[in-house]
Amino acid sequence: MAFLLRRLVFYMAAFIAAATINFFLPRLMPGDPVQIMFSSAGTELPPESLQALKLTFGFVDGPLWQQYLTYLGSIFTGDLGRSIKYFPLPVTSVLGHALVWTVGLMGTATIVSFALGTFLGIVAAWRRGSKFDVIVSVGAIFATSVPAVVTSLIVLFIFGFTLGWFPNGYAADPSLDPAFSLQYIGSLAYHGILPMVTLCTVLIGGFTVTMRNNMINLLGEDYIVMARAKGLSDRHVMLWYAARNALLPTVSSLAIAIGTILGGSLVTEVVYNYPGLGNILYQAILARDYPVIQGQLLIMTATMLIANFIVDVSYVMLDPRLKGA
């Protein structure tokens, strides 16, 4: 319990540090950054929104410490200002709508990749040197080495343009109204296949390589040899003696993957015109929508820290030695 409390305090301090950087960064810019952002928006931003933009970055009347406290208060109350590109929508509304799409797509892809990659890594390590091990290892390294944008374009070209099996973009058929119906849900699943295949291809290699290497390092340990000498079945030794202990570093990889869910799907979402956070971030960068960019960076930071805390809890559950730490 003390271990988790220390980690929780550390993550809270890390989040406040990230928010502090977000506060001071605009102030290190030459000139008046808020006025520059407002001017760059042109006619897209009405004059009355200038004050909202100042509040977003903490540029309010008063001494610096007072501005800083106001800025922190707005973060913890969920007030991230208003979007420039999607004015007058608040940033939380813009990001909240896109968050649902990204979590649905990236969350599912991450879970599937983790489960499948971990299983392949376990079997490949247990059958080290076999044809299965060679095929899985080479395939995993190749999948990890290819950039996400290349994988996205290859999948889109083959299955979208050449074979025409799946749609080339959008999260659902644009002619359908969003509704809780079989037709709309089927359209969502149909349009999500290519982005899902792309993300799984990108993610699965890392999980497979990490799990295989961890397993191989443990197979020579004395307790593994002892378990085999006791006559336990191969499946029992593989899953309960080797895989369980080799899983800890893989869980760390899962935390990193979860932490990058909100920003790591940028390329895939842009290629498939998927309405998630990655696509919103890309559009915000093009439009210099700084409130949305700043809000998404804070959400990404919070997500990464929460994911790491969940991993710490998993560590305590998987490794009994940490329970007394």
Give me the CATH number covering residue 186.
1.10.3720.10
Q: Which residues are registered as beta bridge partners of 90?
A: 82
Residue 113 lies in a domain: yes
Does residue 188 register a pLDDT over 80?
A: yes
Of 30, 28, 20, 15, nearest in space to 67 by CA:
20
CA angle 289/295/301 to nearest 5° reads 135
pLDDT of 33 over the 60 cut: no
Cα 263 to Cα 259: distance, rounded to the nearest angstrom:
8
Dist CA 184 CA 174 (whole Å): 10
Per the CB < 8 A criterion, the answer to whether 222 and 216 are in contact is no
CA 106 to chain centre: 7
Rounded Cα gap, residues 319 and 304, in angstroms: 22
Q: For residue 59, what pLDDT band results from cuts at 50, 70 and 90?
A: low
CB 16 within 8 A of CB 72: yes
| CA atoms within a 13 Å half-sphere pointing along the CA-CB vector of 134 | 3
The tokens for 147 are 């950039």
For the residues 149-159, what does the mean pLDDT come to? 85
- 258, part of any domain: yes
Averaged pLDDT, 71-86:
76
Give pLDDT, residue 1: 67
Residue 92 lies in a domain: no
3-state secondary structure of 92: helix
Q: Does 155 have pLDDT greater than 80?
A: yes
Q: Longest Cα pair distance anywhere in the chain, in angstroms?
A: 78
Whether 113 has a pLDDT exceeding 70, the answer reads: yes
Report the chain's mean pLDDT, rounded to a whole number: 78
Please, which pLDDT band fits residue 152 given cuts at 50, 70 and 90?
confident
| Domain-located, residue 151 | yes
Structurally, the chain folds into a number of domains equal to: 1
How many Cβ atoms are within 10 Å of 120's Cβ, its own excluded?
24
Calculate what percentage of the chain has a pLDDT beyond 90.
Answer: 0
Considering only CA atoms, give the Rg of the chain: 24
Using CA atoms, how far apart are residues 283 and 76, in angstroms rounded to an integer?
26
Q: Measure the CA–CA gap between 72 and 68, rounded to whole angstroms.
A: 6
Q: Is the pLDDT of residue 47 over 80?
A: no
**Res 76 pLDDT > 70:** yes
Rounded CA separation 161/155 (Å): 9
- Taking the C-alpha atoms of residue 274 and residue 98, their distance in angstroms, rounded to an integer, is 9
pLDDT in tens, 292-319: 877 888 887 887 788 777 777 777 776 6
Domain annotation covers residue 275: yes
Q: Indicate if the pLDDT at residue 183 is higher than 60.
A: yes
Q: How far is CA 83 from the centre of its chain?
A: 22
> Does residue 105 belong to any structural domain of this protein?
yes
Q: Report pLDDT for 40.
A: 63
Q: Whole-angstrom distance between the N-terminal and C-terminal Cα of the chain?
A: 8
- List Cα–Cα distances, 272 to 4, 7, 136, 197, 223, in angstroms: 40, 38, 28, 12, 49
Q: Would the pLDDT of 109 be above 80?
A: yes
Tell me whether residue 10 is in a domain: no
Which residues partner with 82 through β-bridges?
Answer: 90
Residue 29 in this model has a pLDDT that exceeds 80: no
Structural domain includes residue 11? no
Instruction: State residue 175's pLDDT score.
Output: 79
The parent domain of residue 274 ranges over: 101-322
pLDDT classification of 168: cutoffs 50, 70, 90: confident
d(CA 242, CA 227): 10
